[in-house]
Amino acid sequence: MGSSGLKPLSDLKVIDLSRVLAGPLCGQMLADMGADVIKIEAPTGDENRKWGPFDADGESCNFMSVNRGKRGITLNLKDDRGRALLYQLLEQADVLIISFLPKTAADLGVDPETLRKRFPRLIIASVTAFGAQGPLVDRPGYDSVVQAFSGIMAMTGERDGLPVRSGVSFIDMTTGVYAYGGILTALEGRRKTGEGDIVRVSLFETATGLLGYHAINWLEAGVLPRREGSGVWHLVPYQVFPCSDGEVLTGALNDATWQKLCAALERPDLAQDPTLASNTGRVEQRERVVAELNATFSERSVAFWSAQLEKFGVPIAPLNTVDATLQHAQTQANEMVIELTAQSGRPLRLLGSPFKLGSTQNYAEVPPPRLGEHTRQVLQERLGLPADEVERLVEEKVV
């Protein structure tokens, strides 16, 4: 960990109007680097708060995963007075993160085009499901929906089984990272021009971009990916193999590594077979190769094969469960589990930041806010509203 000195984004004021995962993760990354992030929720709260499991204090673990370091307030944007309070907050803000459907944003008066005219220095990050234009512009979508729509789910699963979703919401999370990068890029642009900008990201565009070489395989060679379970269709071997007490993932991504793998497995017969010397040959004989390796791996334990293949320089990993990963010494050494103090005073463990700066602490020490926890504080501190007026707004359910 670096020193706990001044963080690079400590002069940044952010309003986070987003919900669920992508936008809130972006806001959390900004807060980790020192930004003053105010999370604004409807009086009913971010829907993410209602998704279990829940911690010892009754708070959603899902919500807590993407909202540390923020102050939380509630505003009823369907009320003219609520929107007026938002606009006052935006007068002082550098960045706004929103995740409304375009039509909903326009109805509420918080669409990027309207706000861009009213607040010309504001960086507006708009997170949507399917993008800012096109026939699906106002269609809602979540991570799994976009995994299906984008073609990612079609290539995921066993060859003879149904497609399956990824176990993690990687499209949501990657979209949040793209939004973070877009915001920092736009801030650099504003530093040069004095003008704000609109950053547009969507789950669909993220997923399409993540198709990567699979997209080019089709665009340029007309080749569609197919499901291969834990393996990949164009490399053999490269997949999960059963051991006597668990599973490992390993493989040979080139012909030299194939020879090392055969040596580690003590299978000179496979190493000397000229039909298996190249990846092309192994792909053609996939079923035979996999059957031979399944039989060999199943004779020994995960620990034995891990040590054996590492000795020969062959990439290998045990199939860890989440608990095993989070308790691993490598996880601890890289500060990927951090400990804060919850509002109740108990220790609260969350995930650390995936990127680190050497000059500062790399996460915000403030726990995720409870619903409306800082409403009174923010309205009085930021907008200078007297306490009695704030209480009246609370009673009238404007906030």
- Which of 16, 172, 245, 269 is an active site residue? 172
Place of tokens 């987003």: 18
* CB-CB contact of 94 with 122 (8 Å): yes
DSSP labels, 253-288: SSHHHHHHHHHHTT-HHHHT-GGGSSHHHHHHTHHH
Distances (CA, A) of 343 to 125, 144, 340, 347, 373: 30, 33, 10, 9, 10
The rounded distance, in Å, linking the Cα atoms of 53 and 59 is: 8
Residue 273 bears catalytic tag: no
Pairing of strands 36-41, 95-98: unpaired
Distances (CA, A) of 5 to 1, 188, 242, 366: 11, 22, 49, 16
Is residue 93 classed exposed, middle or buried when 0-12, 13-18 and 19+ CB atoms within 10 A define those classes? buried
* CB-CB contact of 124 with 189 (8 Å): no
Active-site residues: which are they?
Answer: 172
